[in-house]
Structure 1
């Protein structure tokens, strides 16, 4: 049932491919969360993302090999029209704000609105309060953020791309939630699959869009 990953990860094989998007205002640390999780790197001089970048990481979830394909979308307003197409096929989203900049937290509702306009309604969303290493400069309390997350039905963690706090936990949590949603339907779908193919997961019913070949979450 596995398919080789091809050009991105050499000969490594996967059982599931999950597309996840990182969204939030510019400067909240989305790119460093991505590089910390996928390469265990942090760059103090990282520049704002222009357009879209992505990276991948393979890990085990409930005994299955999962390839996470994580897209880093630019936070600047002028790039939003470009990046909106990349919500298609996403089964997970990280909604990131900076705990030291209240405006980035205040804009969470706007980003949630964009998700609901462009992404599948079944997408799994985690809200991440980044830069927890700067707690002495905090302008958004953890309790207030957690209350919003609970109100909106989102998972929530505070993270630090600088010192790695909760970064792996956050990604593992969202991947586990996605796997829990898709695994039941994927089991039925596998019965009709040609032997030797991998299972690429997409929540979208549009078979021509995104990265998915099999719709398992709609």
Structure 2
């Protein structure tokens, strides 16, 4: 359970609230690992979750302010979520001395519910696909490293993508916007079998830019394996969203078609 800081009005200072009944560890007993520690590659990490059902367990749900404070604590405590982290080193490769640049970038994956955001991330990071649909509550974080060449500078970028899978539901919009902070790029996903998910991309992009200003985008038309059910074309999407200057790609999380490519394309844009 994440810790949320509340201000002690009498003392004028902040104090941490811990779950009731939890005693400090006895002497000589190791503390459990920090739940905000950076996830290992291919592992999921929970973001600050949105309340799913107020009556589930009878406990008081955290307020929006507490949720946002939890997100800020997560950002401060997990090195993986720092949007820009660059260290330079020189490596000697076959072609001679090449400048190796290491960086980490936060990428948000957004779009309506059930368009396949989680499936795309899992296909890219773990190379798996699951037909079952499970709601994402709040946000989940995964990471993967990839190599990006910079032909113009002769540099090679060792890029760590920190992928934030953002819930598609409209509830708690203010909290979802808090997840956008620090993002260097975005993958915006629609479902080829539901035209309304394409129409809603305008709202998703504008809400994102309200927080981040203009950042590189990739627009994804997912579920192209359901070709007979397609309700719009790639040409329509290109025409509709041309003002954003975003690349448009068709993908299938089920078959893996184009999934690797879209993350590499965005990686090139955000590592310049």
Report the TM-score range of the alignment, normalised by the length of the smaller protein: 0.7 to 0.9
Return the TM-score normalized by structure 1.
0.75
- For 1:44 and 1:100, the matched residues in 2 are separated by 16
Counterpart for residue 248 of structure 2: 156
Distance 1:79 1:172 in 2: 31
Match of 1:177, SS state, is: helix
Question: How far is the alpha carbon of 1:7 from its aligned partner?
Answer: 4.3
Q: What secondary structure is seen at the aligned counterpart in 2 of 1:163?
A: coil
More helix as a share of residues? 1
How many residues align? The count is: 172
Larger Rg: 2
Match of 1:135 in 2: 227
Alpha-carbon shift at residue 162 of structure 1 (Å): 0.5
Q: Partner of 1:15: helix, strand, or coil?
A: strand
Aligned pair partner of 1:41 in 128, 142, 146: 128
Distance in 1 of aligned mates of 2:232 and 2:172: 26
Structure 2 stretches lacking a partner, 5+ long: 1-36, 42-86, 88-100, 150-155
Once superposed, which parts of structure 1, at least 4 consecutive aligned residues long, lie more than 4 Å away?
Answer: none
Closer/same/farther in 2, CA of residues 7 and 105 from structure 1, 3 Å limit: closer
Structure 1: unaligned runs, 5 residues or longer? 1-5, 181-218
Q: Name 1:16's counterpart in structure 2.
A: 103
Q: Output aligned runs, 1:173-212, within 5 Å.
A: 173-180=265-272
SS class of match (1:64): strand
Superposed displacement of residue 81, structure 1: 2.4
Question: Which structure ranks higher in relative contact order (CA pairs < 8 Å, sequence separation ≥ 6)?
Answer: 1
| SS of residue paired to 1:25 | coil
Deviations 1:154-213 (A, max 9, x none): 111011100011111000000001112xxxxxxxxxxxxxxxxxxxxxxxxxxxxxxxxx
Alignment RMSD? 1.7
> Corresponding residue for 2:239?
147
Query: How far apart in 1 are the matches of 2:240 and 2:208?
Result: 16
- Per-residue CA deviation, residues 118-164 of structure 1 (Å, 9 max, x unaligned), is 1232x111110110111110001111012123232111101110001
Separation (CA, whole Å) in 2 of partners of 1:102 and 1:35: 24
How far has the Cα of 1:8 moved from its partner?
2.8
Q: Judge conservation of contact 1:93–1:124 (CA < 8 Å) in 2.
A: yes
